[in-house]
Structure 1
Amino acid sequence: MIIFRYLTREILTTMAAVAGVLMLVIMGSRFIRYFSDAAEGDFPASILGSLMLYHLPGFFELLLPLSFFLAVLLAFGQLYMNSEITVLVACGVGPERLLRVTLLPALLVTAMVAACSLYLTPAGALKNELILELQKQKTDFSVLGAGRFQDIGTRTVYAESMSGDNSELKNVFIAERDDKKAANTADSEPRQSVIRAQRAFQEVSPETGSRYLVLGNGTRYAVEPGKAVAQRLGFDRYGVRVTEGQDAASLKDDIELATTAELIATDTPEAKAQLQWRISLPLMVPILMLIGLPLARVNPRQGRFARLLPAIFVHITYLSLLIAAQNAVASGKYPASIGLWPIHGVYLALGIWLSWRDNRGGGR
């Protein structure tokens, strides 16, 4: 019992440290990207915290298997360096006993990864998409800034100032390119137009959910490059569609946002590939544990980092093959009935062979 508590504490403590470092790196990279998008006006900075929070399960489902794998290598490598494994073997604690002791923290990590991949990650991804879509449909200009040019699709928008409640722009200028009309004509150059208006506000259509930029008291000029002809249109009210409506039902057309129950009920290659991927992530944990225990066996003179590079290579190839197989199944190039399971079988066989070889050596 003392050995079990000691080894479990060493593995979980090391895993937490490795996962913390990797999480800081990945979250920092994602935060910088989101912060850059917020600085460009794609969405307000006030929702950054929510976006990062709902991304956490997606980070954990990828980091925990790797962190646990490295924790097994580092924790047992330290035991080999200090000759503690030799003492344990001399006391009758062989490789099979060490494997059983390590199995409980492995099952705990497997349950955590399964909760993330099967439930929390798709729910968090859907929540993020809904937050971003809701932000697009807001009837204020929290994502637009006064005094600077901002691209919205094929349009460039500029406003001189903004009302105090962020609900209306003043002295608005819009330049847009009509690529569709150019594609339907023999002209290669797109039709261009310029709009100037005294004020502008946003409006959401209750029927379609589309968002419109409604301009008031302005003029629209339409020109074609190379021609000395222009059209001038004065208006009291002019609507420009900014984004098309999208609700939760349409968002769930994205297979990555579907729940696991919906994937099980859907008989398409994309759904089967996504379902097998979600199952594969927790399945990696016990298989990596089986590989990690024999790889952690090092000579005290080598140091506990001697097998770290080969182990990382094993994990990278394992994950890369799973990703490649998932893409092949989703595209229909590889039968879903075979799917990702042969890859798990190969690495499971590798772990069994390494463990068998380690048992023959007595774990010393």
Structure 2
Amino acid sequence: MTRQVASTTALVLGFLMVMMLGGRLIRYFGIAAEGGLDVSLLFTIIGYNLPYFLELILPLAFFIALMLVFGRLYVDQEMAVINASGISRGKLARLMTPLILALFVGEAALSIVGKPWGVRSSETVWQQQALSSAFDLIRPNEFISSGDYNLYVGSLSDDKKQLQDVVLIQTQEIGKSGNDDRSNNNSDSDMPALPKAMIERAGNVGSKDTITLAKRAEQVDNGSSGITQLDLFQGRRYEVGAGSLKYNQVSFDRYRITLTESSKEVVTENNIETQPIGPLWQAATGGTPVANVDALRAAKGELGYRFALPWLMIIAPMLAVPLAQVRPRQGRWLRLFPSVLLFVSCALGIISLKNAVSKGSVSVWAYAWVIVGFMILALYLNWASRIQHRLRFREPAGNSTGDESQTPSTTGGQA
């Protein structure tokens, strides 16, 4: 029985995975055909996204497998034989406890550890790929955008690692303040001074431009850390305040800038899904600082979501055992689709609570209420028919003997 449920779960899981990944593969192949993605990284990204898909597909596949296996037992009259031998359907379901516990642990690992790791690794690959694509677009004497920077290169090497005559412009939004009107004229470098007209046009209201000039630059190899840096040599750095004719000037022999950074240590509502369980727990309980109140709510919603999703593995057999019961001429497909909709509504309830808790509409304990509510519904479906059957056929004590004593005399008198 357990082996049959496990094999059916594997088959349904494979079918659903092919359906879910089909559209994603087509989109990735389109991006690779346009040159926005390296073909060698295609299956790497798919592998990182597998926990994201398995998190929701695995409970559904397990529920469908239970419906198919138990439905066949009812249609083929095997359940009647099993019940006649003294084994109830509840005991039959309890025989699958090792499989249920194994799937519960697997789902918990996917939800708590696997999915955040996969999303975080996938985002790192996309960041590196985006930067590589940006550097592939570098053309001499042309500006390109890379993150928050606008990059200009006079010439570059064949491998595009060595850049010559580099100009970097970064705009930062700031408040209006007169403290930035400072000037430092430094002439220790051989680089020519930035024209005054360019400085006057660079500043925008409410912003500060940082303009960096360098004779050459090199890309820094940081491996797979997700941080992309650039070393600038023999140059000057100008800070131009908004609406001001004064500027700061600093000369340097070597200056390192970061074009793209790895995920921030401070928990925000934008990087909740990529946070490991440790920092997420500390952020939700107030152990570590968060960006704002919205980030705290989002951390609580994500934490509750990760701990609530594995309970679908417990709810699945509790619902499947009574819902799979069919009459001999009904067929096992009659209740499959309504039962799947009922189970999907449970999963959608948990998913919708994630957004509701993040907005502060409900408490994080709403996850527990949803899980307990569906468990109570499953218990009702399991025991309602038995209770109604016993109440329907229960007769008051003493009525049967009185009726039997009166019946013979009446019939005898008529005869």
Check if 1:310 corresponds to 2:338: yes
What is the DSSP-based 3-state SS (H/G/I as helix, E as strand, rest coil) of the residue aligned with 1:256?
coil
Q: 1:79-228 residue pairs with structure 2 within 5 A? A: 79-137=73-131, 144=136, 165=159, 167=161, 203=219
* Whole-Å separation in 2 of the counterparts to 1:143 and 1:320: 42
* Whole-Å separation in 2 of the counterparts to 1:204 and 1:252: 28
Q: CA deviation at 1:28?
A: 1.9
Check if 1:68 corresponds to 2:56: no
Check if 1:296 corresponds to 2:324: yes
C-alpha root-mean-square deviation of aligned residues, in Å? 4.4
* Whole-Å separation in 1 of the counterparts to 2:231 and 2:24: 31
Equivalent residue number for residue 272 of structure 2: 255
Equivalent residue number for residue 188 of structure 1: none
Q: CA deviation at 1:339?
A: 2.7
1:219-246 residue CA offsets vs partner (Å, 9 max, x unmatched)? xxxxxxxxxxxxxxxxxxxxxx995434
Larger-gyration structure (1/2):
2
Check if 1:352 corresponds to 2:379: yes
Equivalent residue number for residue 238 of structure 1: none
1:125-184 residue CA offsets vs partner (Å, 9 max, x unmatched)? 2222222333445xx65974699xx99789999xxxx97646589xxxxxxxx9x99995
Q: CA deviation at 1:346?
A: 1.4
* Whole-Å separation in 2 of the counterparts to 1:249 and 1:56: 25
Any unmatched runs of 5+ in structure 1?
Answer: 1-6, 170-177, 186-199, 215-240
Aligned residues: 317
Conserved in 1, the CA contact under 8 Å of 2:108 and 2:309? yes
Q: CA deviation at 1:22?
A: 0.4
Provide TM-score, normalisation by structure 1. 0.71
Any unmatched runs of 5+ in structure 2?
Answer: 164-170, 174-201, 207-215, 233-256, 286-295, 390-415
User: How has the CA–CA distance of structure 1 residues 318 and 55 changed in structure 2, closer, same or farther, with 3 Å as cutoff?
Assistant: same
Equivalent residue number for residue 33 of structure 1: 27
What is the DSSP-based 3-state SS (H/G/I as helix, E as strand, rest coil) of the residue aligned with 1:48?
helix
Equivalent residue number for residue 261 of structure 2: 245
Equivalent residue number for residue 281 of structure 2: 264
Equivalent residue number for residue 14 of structure 1: 8
Conserved in 2, the CA contact under 8 Å of 1:325 and 1:339? yes
* Whole-Å separation in 2 of the counterparts to 1:167 and 1:52: 29
Q: CA deviation at 1:326?
A: 1.3
Conserved in 1, the CA contact under 8 Å of 2:148 and 2:259? no
What is the DSSP-based 3-state SS (H/G/I as helix, E as strand, rest coil) of the residue aligned with 1:305?
coil
Greater relative contact order, per chain length (Cα 8 Å cut-off, separation 6+): 1
Provide TM-score, normalisation by structure 2. 0.63
